[in-house]
Structure 1
């Protein structure tokens, strides 16, 4: 399982999205975050430098287990995690399954049910083929970094099967997360903004703060931003991510 460490300070684990390696997902963001943080950027099963496991399908549960095992390997007892797309779903599963490992979460373009994705985007998964992705940044990055570049067609097929799985996680699991969460999505993302707002409400948001106080979690919708552009919007991300991570931890819920 490939990972890179940049900078020093409080550990911040970065989990990229489907078909993404570290460079395509976080290449512009890492140098900025690493100014004040120890950034641990990970490539999950089959992506980038991390080889695929032939008889193991891609799943959020396996990704979460792998991430927890990496943190144990690095002897990190508690970290902040920033996940993007399926990496955000992985971070969510880590917080649900291994809450003791997580301090704060930054979830970019996250879903907890398949209905959170626009139907036309779900339908577009049928077009996910090596030919459709030919010349894309994802293919180029894979061919340059993968231990077995010839496995690209197999990875695309597994990623397609992964993305077609029905995602229906209990709302109670999301609601039970104790860690402060920063939700981020583009206003033209593949995730519906209503879904992000729904998650925000599960985490205690969506209330008049002047009357009831601020929740421990936050939500940001980036203007003029698509799914693929999101992690490149460093001007907006660096204005909201470091203040969220650097703020004092609130008291745990009872």
Structure 2
């Protein structure tokens, strides 16, 4: 292969080691020309498994470890990576890292409130804020934030998660307006009940009765939408929240 001066383009997926994050990594590798930067916090084995699956579909990628909550670690790890990959540019950011600590609000421990908010909301800030300047200079970018039906309608027992994801929805809409002139789109994807580690303990048989489509969704179904939003085909869609929930809340 001839050496060209064109930059190597990357898509960064936070929380890319499992569940929806893993499905997104694989779908981006299948559909688009991006190298996939798979972020994980603690599960290195799962991240390497995701990388194997990316390579199995003909994609290329690598893993990068940082906790999205830790602003200094995010900046340091991404700067070191950039230093080692001088001809690389991160064009797509999928803010997928998130955690749940469910419980009734009146019994909620402060750390369960703060940890959930920190991961989804501050994680979005730490990663996106560090990378957006380069997108603005390059006049191109795709920012896709993973939110939730909980952030739109509110879910009892998830006041913390609903607050975190609702805040990211509002941030998505505001940021989209700031950067649209530079050909950077900012959108959110709001899954409902999707089969994953996060929903493994839920009673699917009982819950699917409230879903018009009468089933839980697949991670791949979410990944297809993310892949479209990460592509050039979606250039006139920005500030939007796309629901993927089988009709439970639209």
Identify the TM-score tier after normalising by the shorter chain.
0.3 to 0.5
More helix per residue: 2
When normalised by structure 2's length, the TM-score is: 0.44
TM-score norm. by structure 1 comes to 0.43
